[in-house]
Amino acid sequence: MIFLWTSIGLVRANENTTITTNNLSSSSHNTNEVPECTLDDYGATYTPCVKMSDTRTVVYYKKNNCSGGVSLPISTETLPCNLTCSNGQFLRPPFVKCEPCSPGEFSFSEGILTNDWEELPDSMKTNCVSEGVKNPKCSSWKASTNYKYIHSGDQSESTGTVSSVLTYYVDILREVGKLEFSFRVDADTGNGLELYIDNQQVLERTSYVHEYTVKSFTLTKGYHVIEWRFEKASAQSSSTKQMAYIKWVKIYGDKLSVEYCTKCPAGTFNNEHGQASCTACPLDTFSDKPGQTQCQPCPDNTYALSGSTSCSPKPSCTALDYAAHYTPCSNGKRKLIYEWKKPKICNGGVELPTNKDNEECNQCPTGLFRKNDECQRCAGKGEYYDLKELKCKKCYEGYYALKYLRYDSNFFNEMTSLPSHWSTKCLGECDKEHKGWSIVSNVEKREAYLDAGANGYGDESVLSIPIELYTDGSISIEYELSSTTPTKTTTTTTSTTTTTGKPEDHLTASEDEDTSVLLFFINRTLVGDFSRQTLKELKGTFKTRYYPAGHYLLTFAFEKYDSPIKQSTVLIKSIIVEGEVSGASDKCYECREGHYCPQGTDEHLPCRPGTYSNIRQEACMACYRNTFQNKFGQNKCLNCGAGTFSNAGSPDCVNTCLFSVPGTEIVYNLTNLQSALNSELNVFGPLALPNSPLKLYFNLCNKFDTAYTKFCQKESRLSVLSEQRKEVTTRNRRKGYTTYSCVEDDSSENPKYHTSGDMGSTISYYQSPKGDGLTVYLGTDYKCANNEGVYNTKIELKCNPKEGIGKPVIVTEVSETGVMSLSDVCSTKILWESHAACPICTVYDYEAVVSSDCENGRRKKTWFLKPSAKCYPYSGSSAPLPEEDVSCITCSQDDYTFVETKCVNGVFKKKYVWKEPRDCFGGIELPEDETLTCDELEIGKLTAVTGLSITAAVFVCLLVGICFFYFRNKQLYEQYEMLGQKETPDIEMLNSGSGVLELMGNESSSDDDMGFTTTKTINITDSDEDDRV
């Protein structure tokens, strides 16, 4: 077999194959019509590898139709089949060794580098898919305005579930390959970027990545499908663009070398051979074409930021273009220094003011006082600085000295640069002079603040501030969005061949097109965002929720996105941190309810579970008996649910899983239902709610901690989280929650994104109105989103002896038209029919059977459940009560009684029956039934009624008589008692003997003396004094 080169390329033939070619000397062609051959008419390629030698050979072929001239070159040079080139090199026929790239070019020989996004490579595709709405606003991946990165499209206005996909098809030729890319993400929690390789997820959904981060993944030899998916699954809660950014993508191993070097993109240059990358044009230079070896300087009165493809006219300088700062205080004086903001992008206009000496020192931030030219704070615990008395004082009991760390104008005026423990940087194609945020002063307004500085397309200024909270506290900021609106300008040229760029590259936009945004993060979680497109006012204040004690990182990121307003910036006027360990206090604060404050403290300490407090308390009080409190920092205790109890100071109520119906002997034992537990999860469930992705879990006897379960691992409902944030402290900061019942949305394939909610952390028992079972109520103290009560679970336990243990069934009504969400589930209802839901059997549910055999004066007495009994355990043949040995008692007249039937046809029957339970045997027999006339019955009844009536009348008469004499004697006793209290009263009694007395005192006695007056015809002489009372 041989290889032959023809005008159509390399063909394979055997030795007797005839090849028809264009004969250069054939008379059938007119040489006058075909040009002579030159070297440019020939091409070169490599032959396939020869396995035995593992080499390839360079061969030439005619690529253009020509005749005569230069003959087809012949080459005998070979090269190894596995020859690989380094980055900055290339290999193409007819070369047999790697050659360096020329200036203005670069190469990534180990694979493919994509960093110029003006056009997508042929092997890349993008699309956007939306679910849940008819007319979605779904954006696919697209390049930035300056083609420096590609983003997933602005999904901030998209509706429903959105997936923006960038697909890359690659073929790895080497034994081991690799994917490497640089990315960042701006998205709300629940949205973000995912990466799939061959339909296998290798990067979990990532919501926020402030800086460009590099990720790499190994690729095996062969074909692969790589997909970047930006998923928007939750409703937007911020003004961020909801998108991901990819700066560059590298594929290692898809080739052994590259045949051609790539020209440096516009805005970059390269002036050396064999380079693997290009350099961005520095400040005030540009390159408007690819493949440049140097950047051109901007014409006069124009400027360009780093990496620019054109220059823009410099606006006139204003007071916003320069900044001022003070030197440290010395002997009560300081110096004011003016500087142009960097980079300086203005010309003309105002001039830089002259520096000033001997300026007065600024006032210290609130709570601080100046000593030895420095601002200092009170050193003692629980102390504050009294501005009236100008000294440090300690707070009393029930009050505390809360510390505030204030980064405000007074603080910034004390600083010449950012504090040493702060950090700032500019990300993206930033200018070398632009280092990020800085402190600037506005002397005219006598204020100082933080300035993010101006930067270019897609750039980001980041400021990071570490703080430490010693108690639960919040962060407040004051901000102002500021920019200079540019005017439309025409293109400026430096010569007839070089221009400053395209007219559309100039600052021709208005502030309405400014898409820049200030993002505020705490520990890499977005807590606030501020942009012109969402704010009515360009300045304002913002306060976060309360955070527990601990270390936090505050991050402020000013992002430009594709904003054409290059001068756009943001100012932070103040940052105030409540509860910061290095802060200061200027007054005492009332101790909040749910907390206690001993003397000399700088924090309000939360009451522990089982205790509570009112405002201004020095100590917490224990919960009363049968009440509880399972949270920190509460101002009251809650009553235990019915059927549970607690001791004083308890954080929870005791649930024995036994319930006694008040006023009866009925007892329910729910521990018998525990045999139906899911043995793996140790709960009942999961129970699926109809027409929804929600699953319910519960337990009747024991609470479960979701921090240690495979389900319901965190509370997700916003209304509940809002309440919990008010209770958050260092001591109750935890992952899960303790409850009897919870509901979980497991619609996501990744358990990490499952949402859940507490459906009952307290338990109560109630007997069903029909008495055929028990209602178990599992409740919370969190209000439902629709304000229709609190989140709860109701379990109807119905007694059914024939059902066995049974199983719980969801009976909650769910809309058939829509899917129920987690917040919509306010109450869930469960029906459970079971024999274990019946009350515990009592002695009244049994009947006794006494054996007829009597041995040694004893016989057996056995108890059996009545067939009609509805209790647990139920078994018609079982004998759960122990057998008894009873004495052989001989039956007597006291062991039986009689019952009378109704009067029928003038007669009735008197039937004799044994008393139950019958404990006698033998002896007398039951008398025979008697038949009597109804007259005898009526006479008997009349006699009985008459007797009862007489007895009742006599009893009433006796009672009346007793009462009469009792009250009469009592009245007389009281009169004599009062008479006896006088020292020497005169007594006269009327003949009538009415019992009315007159107490005649001395005329000089007080009018306040009490007396009863009467007269008597019998005179009492002195000799009768001994008889006086």
Q: Is residue 350 part of a domain?
A: yes
Q: Quick one: which H or E segment has residue 213?
A: strand 208-232
Which tokens sit at 857? 């004066």
Residue 840: closest CA among 970, 696, 643, 668: 668
Let me know whether 741 and 825 are in one domain: yes
Kindly report the backbone phi and psi dihedral angles of residue 910, in degrees, each rounded to the nearest multiple of 5, phi listed first: -110, 110
Q: What is the pLDDT of residue 454?
A: 63
- Asked if 226 contacts 195 with a C-beta cutoff of 8 angstroms, the reply is yes
Q: pLDDT tens across 569-585, in order?
A: 889 999 999 999 999 99
Residues 879-887: what's their mean pLDDT?
Answer: 71
245-255: b or e for each residue (b if 16 or more CB lie within 10 Å)?
A: bbbbbbbbbbb
| Cα angle 726, 479, 540; round to 5 | 70
Q: What is the pLDDT of residue 789?
A: 81
**Share above pLDDT 70 across residues of the chain, in percent, rounded to a whole number:** 80
Q: What is the pLDDT of residue 240?
A: 62
Residue 172: closest CA among 249, 89, 83, 112: 112
Classified as helix, coil or strand, 687 is: strand
Q: Is residue 268 part of a domain?
A: no
Residue 495 CB-density burial (10 A; 0-12 exposed, 13-18 middle, 19+ buried): exposed
* DSSP letter string, 631-667: SSS-SS-EEPPTT-B--TT-SS-B--SEEEPTTSS-E
Q: What is the pLDDT of residue 814?
A: 61
Q: What is the pLDDT of residue 733?
A: 52
- 243 forms beta bridges with 186
| Residue 772, CA atoms < 13 Å, CB-side half-sphere | 9
Let me know whether 465 and 547 are in one domain: yes
Let me know whether 699 and 760 are in one domain: yes
- Asked if 128 contacts 162 with a C-beta cutoff of 8 angstroms, the reply is yes
| Residue 948, CA atoms < 13 Å, CB-side half-sphere | 6
**Cα separations in angstroms, 70 against 10, 45, 424, 645, 663:** 20, 18, 65, 108, 120
Least confident of 48-62, 343-357, 943-957: 943-957
Reading phi first (left if > 0) and then psi (alpha if -120 to 50, else beta), residue 10 is in beta
Let me know whether 476 and 553 are in one domain: yes
The domain that holds 516 is classified in CATH as 2.60.120.260
| Cα angle 909, 915, 917; round to 5 | 145
Residue that has been written with the tokens 């989280």 in this structure = 721
Q: pLDDT tens across 605-646, in order?
A: 889 999 999 999 999 999 999 999 988 888 999 899 888 999
Residue 875 CB-density burial (10 A; 0-12 exposed, 13-18 middle, 19+ buried): exposed
Q: Is residue 503 part of a domain?
A: no
Q: With the CA atoms of 281, 286, 290 and 291 taken in that order, what torsion angle do they form, in degrees rounded to the nearest 10?
A: -60
Cα(286)–Cα(308) distance, integer angstroms: 5
Classified as helix, coil or strand, 675 is: helix
- Asked if 696 contacts 828 with a C-beta cutoff of 8 angstroms, the reply is yes
State how beta strands 89-90 and 55-62 pair: unpaired
Residues 756-769: what's their mean pLDDT?
Answer: 89
Let me know whether 423 and 554 are in one domain: yes
Flag whether pLDDT at 1014 surpasses 60.
no
Let me know whether 242 and 344 are in one domain: no
| Cα angle 746, 748, 749; round to 5 | 105
Least confident of 107-116, 694-703, 965-974: 965-974
Q: Is residue 584 part of a domain?
A: no
Residues 217-227: what's their mean pLDDT?
Answer: 94
Let me know whether 225 and 349 are in one domain: no
Residue that has been written with the tokens 């408007």 in this structure = 288
Instruction: Quote the strand ranges of 63-160, DSSP E.
Output: 67-69, 78-80, 89-90, 99-100, 105-106, 111-114, 124-131, 142-143, 150-151
Residue 150: closest CA among 120, 194, 106, 107: 120
- Would you give the DSSP letter of residue 683? B
Q: What is the pLDDT of residue 734?
A: 54
Instruction: Quote the strand ranges of 52-134, DSSP E.
Output: 55-62, 67-69, 78-80, 89-90, 99-100, 105-106, 111-114, 124-131
Flag whether pLDDT at 434 surpasses 80.
no
Q: Choose one of 771, 804, 837: the last residue of a domain.
A: 837
Q: Is residue 817 part of a domain?
A: yes
Q: Is residue 663 part of a domain?
A: yes
Write the secondary structure of 589-632 as one string of H (helix), E (strand) and C (coil).
EECCCCEECCCCCCCCEECCCCEECCCCCCCCEECCCCEECCCC
Flag whether pLDDT at 736 surpasses 70.
yes
Q: pLDDT tens across 268-312, in order?
A: 999 999 998 899 898 899 999 999 999 999 998 899 888 888 998
Q: Is residue 619 part of a domain?
A: no
Cα(514)–Cα(457) distance, integer angstroms: 11
Cα(340)–Cα(463) distance, integer angstroms: 21
Total count of domains within the chain:
7
Classified as helix, coil or strand, 898 is: strand
Residue 751: closest CA among 714, 696, 718: 714
Classified as helix, coil or strand, 254 is: coil
pLDDT band at 340 (very low <50, low <70, confident <90, very high): confident
Let me know whether 867 and 878 are in one domain: yes
Residue 701: closest CA among 720, 728, 722, 673: 673
Flag whether pLDDT at 416 surpasses 90.
no
Let me know whether 744 and 831 are in one domain: yes
Residues 899-927: what's their mean pLDDT?
Answer: 82
**196 alpha carbon, distance to own chain's centre:** 26
Residue 475: closest CA among 378, 556, 382: 556
| Cα angle 529, 164, 565; round to 5 | 40
> Please, which residues have CB within 8 angstroms of residue 539's CB and are 6 or more apart in sequence?
478, 479, 480, 481, 573
Let me know whether 353 and 235 are in one domain: no
Which tokens sit at 177? 């390959």
Q: Average pLDDT over the chain, rounded to whole?
A: 79
Let me know whether 671 and 741 are in one domain: yes
Residue 183: closest CA among 159, 161, 157, 150: 150
Cα(814)–Cα(689) distance, integer angstroms: 8
Q: Choose one of 799, 815, 837: the last residue of a domain.
A: 837
Cα(431)–Cα(426) distance, integer angstroms: 8
Instruction: Quote the strand ranges of 491-568, DSSP E.
Output: 517-522, 525-531, 539-543, 550-559
Cα(294)–Cα(253) distance, integer angstroms: 32
Residues 55-80: what's their mean pLDDT?
Answer: 86
Which tokens sit at 95? 């070369």
Flag whether pLDDT at 818 surpasses 80.
no
Which tokens sit at 809? 């069934």
Cα(507)–Cα(314) distance, integer angstroms: 10
Flag whether pLDDT at 126 surpasses 90.
yes
Least confident of 85-89, 182-186, 207-211, 435-439: 207-211
**Cα separations in angstroms, 453 against 287, 308, 432, 620:** 24, 18, 13, 51
- Asked if 155 contacts 232 with a C-beta cutoff of 8 angstroms, the reply is yes
Rg of the chain, C-alpha, whole Å: 49
Max Cα separation, the chain?
191
Classified as helix, coil or strand, 357 is: strand
Residue that has been written with the tokens 């823009």 in this structure = 312
The domain of 999 spans 980-1029
Which tokens sit at 758? 């507490």
- Asked if 244 contacts 230 with a C-beta cutoff of 8 angstroms, the reply is yes
Cα(886)–Cα(1000) distance, integer angstroms: 81
Cα(339)–Cα(328) distance, integer angstroms: 17
Cα(924)–Cα(904) distance, integer angstroms: 30
pLDDT band at 761 (very low <50, low <70, confident <90, very high): confident
> Please, which residues have CB within 8 angstroms of residue 338's CB and are 6 or more apart in sequence?
322, 323, 324, 352, 353, 354, 355
Q: pLDDT tens across 475-531, in order?
A: 999 998 875 444 333 333 333 222 333 333 333 344 556 667 888 989 888 888 887
Q: What is the pLDDT of residue 504?
A: 33
Q: What is the pLDDT of residue 723?
A: 62
pTM, 2 dp = 0.57
Residues 964-986: what's their mean pLDDT?
Answer: 67
Q: What is the pLDDT of residue 479?
A: 92
Residue that has been written with the tokens 């390959």 in this structure = 177
Highest mean pLDDT among 81-85, 231-235, 362-366, 394-398: 394-398
Cα(984)–Cα(718) distance, integer angstroms: 86
Q: Choose one of 545, 578, 611: the last residue of a domain.
A: 578
Let me know whether 690 and 806 are in one domain: yes
Residues 175-188: what's their mean pLDDT?
Answer: 89
- 875 forms beta bridges with none
- Asked if 669 contacts 838 with a C-beta cutoff of 8 angstroms, the reply is no
The domain that holds 183 is classified in CATH as 2.60.120.200
Q: Is residue 100 part of a domain?
A: no
Which tokens sit at 172? 């790895």
